[in-house]
Chain A
């Protein structure tokens, strides 16, 4: 996409908390660069339209040069027409007393409608990032209902988990987080995710050092490290009494930025993408893998060793995704 064209960026759940942090990252240039003008399209449900208008007032009061125009809408056709990038933050949240199957059913309905709208109205090369939970399965539903859009264009967010994993390694190793590289998040953006430090390294003054040579504590790397990352969301809610909007917005920004601009040589990031048989995960689900990105296309990193410990965790998160898929798909027939 040349910089002289305006890109149409759709954000759903636009009156919500994650969007409130996200929108200002997007229009500042962090996501698409400082030369890319943006038409910002904000979608939410009718009950949120006032809140949405308030957000637009604030965007206007920021005087960002990259904002070419802003559209607020409650209509999916208007929202997704000619979209180049779609960030699907909005989803039905879990309420008290709601069973998992209720949650899946409610979200299947939302993502079926949005997937179809993307299919019918969006730019054919639209890149889609699903954030609203259950993210992997919601992305799969949207993709399934958008047969005219290449399935590689649908992804879900595990970059937050990836960034959290980097942060935990940095804290334990007493280094700056920018020196931690190539941690991996495998699987579902849920408590079955597998944060994997085995292929990661830390930039020390002496050179690139495998994480396990810096943090010489397998028990921690296979134990507390994993559970801390898995449960980090709950820990933030417990402290803030609100969920982690700002760090989620940063992860969304990182995911989209890297998808557009590519990753540095040798650097892996984690993205929830359609499985293709890699690492024993058959086609048909959205699974978080280590990827590199070039020219707007991601490639799953091949040939990484999978030991029995990792195999078990990868299989477990895979099973959960298959179950979610089975439950959810009965609602979209």
Chain B
């Protein structure tokens, strides 16, 4: 065992003496349901908890700035799981990255055992258990979709290979950098040693935004809206679907109502709802003059936490995962589906009724993903 690892194991031994988190974490999402990924330490100060290695790419950027501190405070892996952070960005961002690591130190987070800042893919990816691939090449002015795909293919090819060669064999991967679905597919394809089930792309932000629009329409708190589904590509062809959504504590505490009948406005659902969700990102940018870093970071935390800790009974979340033929979506695409999670694994919810109009939209987003795949693979 190298000396750094030895030191970390010695340090984590102190956890038996005094629990690092004084705070009252007992909230819903960390209640022990016996369904968490075996790697995560869910019980208070149980023996020598081994740190989990977490990689964040694009680590000097805005989403990462919100995300890293949420992770450090225990929001992703719970209050009893120590963390070793691996932060990767391009050489140009090395100073800014150093600044971020200084702030992590200054945060005095008990769960953070070490921080590795790197501009080198190999060291960043070595041994990681969770990989959050936030960094990607942004679209510049005049850039065509094809150009964007080409430059990102080269990034995610390299990162997929690095995952295959250097990461932990059971690494769980979330791709955020756009075009997220196709970037995830490229990475997965180049990491042929690893199970495709361990790769995903983020549509949780779209799900959260959709729930927000429904809560606005119905006039309830957004945390009372569940099971809004996002189908397909994290792009303008995404399909936000309220067919199976429910409103909790409505019309009174303890009761649930189907969202569709509560909304009671099919015209709104078919004409206004989807554009509202699709345009939310642009609306935030127009207001803030900056993109929605904090809510994106929160969605990343929610996606990973549900994947690793398990979803609650009756709860459906959206994750873009490798398609298996469900719902007429051809195999071999990264496609956002309704899933439940247990023991660190996701399962596509089967047997949901799909209206004709939703199926049409699913077919459109499927076609877009197939085209992206073809274009991307031509560069591999």
Of residues 41 to 70 in A, which have CB atoms within 8 Å of B's CB atoms? 50-51, 53-55, 57-65, 67-68
| A34 in contact with B107 (CB, 8 Å) | no
Chain A 55-91 against B: per-residue CB contact (8 Å), 1 yes, 0 no?
Answer: 1011111111101100000000000000000000000
Number of CB contacts from chain A to chain B under 8 A: 172
Nearest to B210 among chain A residues (CB) is: A61
| A20 in contact with B23 (CB, 8 Å) | no
Q: Hey, which chain A residues are within 8 Å of B20, CB to CB? A: 178
| B105 in contact with A167 (CB, 8 Å) | yes
| A51 in contact with B287 (CB, 8 Å) | yes
| Chain A residues with a Cβ closer than 8 Å to the other chain, count | 61
Q: A61-B209, A176-B113 are in contact. Are A50 and B287 (CB under 8 A)?
A: yes
B29 CB to closest chain A CB (Å) equals 9
| B223 in contact with A63 (CB, 8 Å) | yes
| A24 in contact with B284 (CB, 8 Å) | no
Which residue in A21, A34, A67, A245 is a CB contact (below 8 Å) of B26? A34
Chain A 157-192 against B: per-residue CB contact (8 Å), 1 yes, 0 no?
Answer: 000100110110011001111110000000000000
- What's the Cα separation between A209 and B285 when bound, in Å? 51
B375 contacts chain A at the CB level, 8 A cutoff: no
| B23 in contact with A53 (CB, 8 Å) | no
Q: Hey, which chain B residues are within 8 Å of A179, CB to CB? A: 11, 14
| B69 in contact with A58 (CB, 8 Å) | no
| A239 in contact with B102 (CB, 8 Å) | yes
Name the residue among B102, B103, B215, B290 with the largest chain A CB count within 10 angstroms: B103
| B99 in contact with A61 (CB, 8 Å) | no
| A240 in contact with B96 (CB, 8 Å) | yes
| A55 in contact with B75 (CB, 8 Å) | no
| B102 in contact with A57 (CB, 8 Å) | no
| A250 in contact with B280 (CB, 8 Å) | no
Which residue in A20, A24, A25, A171 is a CB contact (below 8 Å) of B105? A171
Of residues 101 to 116 in B, which have CB atoms within 8 Å of A's CB atoms? 102-110, 112-113
A257 contacts chain B at the CB level, 8 A cutoff: yes
| A250 in contact with B222 (CB, 8 Å) | no
B216 CB to closest chain A CB (Å) equals 8
Q: Hey, which chain A residues are within 8 Å of B205, CB to CB? A: 61
| B24 in contact with A250 (CB, 8 Å) | no
Tell which of B132-140, B255-263, B291-299 binds the partner: B291-299
| B294 in contact with A30 (CB, 8 Å) | no
- What's the Cα separation between A253 and B117 when bound, in Å? 26
- What's the Cα separation between A279 and B75 when bound, in Å? 40
Nearest to B208 among chain A residues (CB) is: A61
Q: Hey, which chain B residues are within 8 Å of A261, CB to CB? A: 22-24
| B65 in contact with A239 (CB, 8 Å) | no
| A34 in contact with B209 (CB, 8 Å) | no
Q: A21-B66, A236-B99, A246-B107 are in contact. Are A58 and B294 (CB under 8 A)?
A: yes
Q: Hey, which chain A residues are within 8 Å of B65, CB to CB? A: 21, 245-246
| A163 in contact with B107 (CB, 8 Å) | yes
A327 contacts chain B at the CB level, 8 A cutoff: no
Q: A34-B26, A50-B287, A53-B287 are in contact. Are A175 and B292 (CB under 8 A)?
A: no
Q: Hey, which chain B residues are within 8 Å of A24, CB to CB? A: 66, 70, 294, 297-298
A166 CB to closest chain B CB (Å) equals 5
| B105 in contact with A54 (CB, 8 Å) | no
Chain B 230-258 against A: per-residue CB contact (8 Å), 1 yes, 0 no?
Answer: 00000000000000000000000000000
Name the residue among A34, A59, A251 with the largest chain B CB count within 10 angstroms: A34
Of residues 342 to 373 in B, which have CB atoms within 8 Å of A's CB atoms? none
B73 contacts chain A at the CB level, 8 A cutoff: yes
A235 contacts chain B at the CB level, 8 A cutoff: yes
Name the residue among B18, B112, B215, B294 with the largest chain A CB count within 10 angstroms: B294
| A63 in contact with B106 (CB, 8 Å) | no
Nearest to B211 among chain A residues (CB) is: A63
Q: A174-B7, A203-B18 are in contact. Are A51 and B289 (CB under 8 A)?
A: yes
| B294 in contact with A250 (CB, 8 Å) | no
| B212 in contact with A61 (CB, 8 Å) | yes
- What's the Cα separation between A260 and B208 when bound, in Å? 31
Q: A21-B66, A24-B70, A61-B205 are in contact. Are A240 and B99 (CB under 8 A)?
A: yes
Q: Hey, which chain B residues are within 8 Å of A236, CB to CB? A: 99, 102-103, 106
B100 contacts chain A at the CB level, 8 A cutoff: yes
Q: A65-B223, A246-B65 are in contact. Are A203 and B14 (CB under 8 A)?
A: yes
A264 contacts chain B at the CB level, 8 A cutoff: yes
| B289 in contact with A21 (CB, 8 Å) | no
B92 contacts chain A at the CB level, 8 A cutoff: no
| B289 in contact with A30 (CB, 8 Å) | no
Which residue in B17, B102, B108, B212 is a CB contact (below 8 Å) of A203? B17
| B106 in contact with A54 (CB, 8 Å) | no
| A239 in contact with B107 (CB, 8 Å) | no
A172 CB to closest chain B CB (Å) equals 12
A33 contacts chain B at the CB level, 8 A cutoff: yes
A296 CB to closest chain B CB (Å) equals 15
Chain B 259-296 against A: per-residue CB contact (8 Å), 1 yes, 0 no?
Answer: 00000000000000000000010011111111010110
| A20 in contact with B106 (CB, 8 Å) | no
B2 contacts chain A at the CB level, 8 A cutoff: no
A260 CB to closest chain B CB (Å) equals 11
| B108 in contact with A175 (CB, 8 Å) | no
A216 contacts chain B at the CB level, 8 A cutoff: no
| B223 in contact with A57 (CB, 8 Å) | no
Which residue in A21, A61, A160, A167 is a CB contact (below 8 Å) of B295? A61
- What's the Cα separation between A19 and B22 when bound, in Å? 24
| B14 in contact with A21 (CB, 8 Å) | no
A28 contacts chain B at the CB level, 8 A cutoff: yes
- What's the Cα separation between A51 and B112 when bound, in Å? 32
B221 CB to closest chain A CB (Å) equals 7
- What's the Cα separation between A261 and B222 when bound, in Å? 28
A/B interface sample: 16 pairs, CB < 8 A = A24-B298, A50-B286, A54-B286, A62-B298, A63-B208, A63-B211, A65-B28, A164-B105, A177-B108, A232-B102, A236-B102, A239-B96, A239-B98, A239-B99, A246-B69, A247-B104
Known A63-B225, A240-B96; 17 more pairs at CB < 8 Å: A24-B70, A34-B27, A50-B288, A54-B283, A57-B212, A60-B212, A63-B223, A65-B223, A176-B14, A176-B113, A178-B20, A236-B99, A240-B100, A244-B106, A246-B69, A246-B103, A264-B22
A-B complex: 5 closest residue pairs judged by Cβ atoms: A54-B287, A239-B99, A34-B27, A54-B288, A240-B99
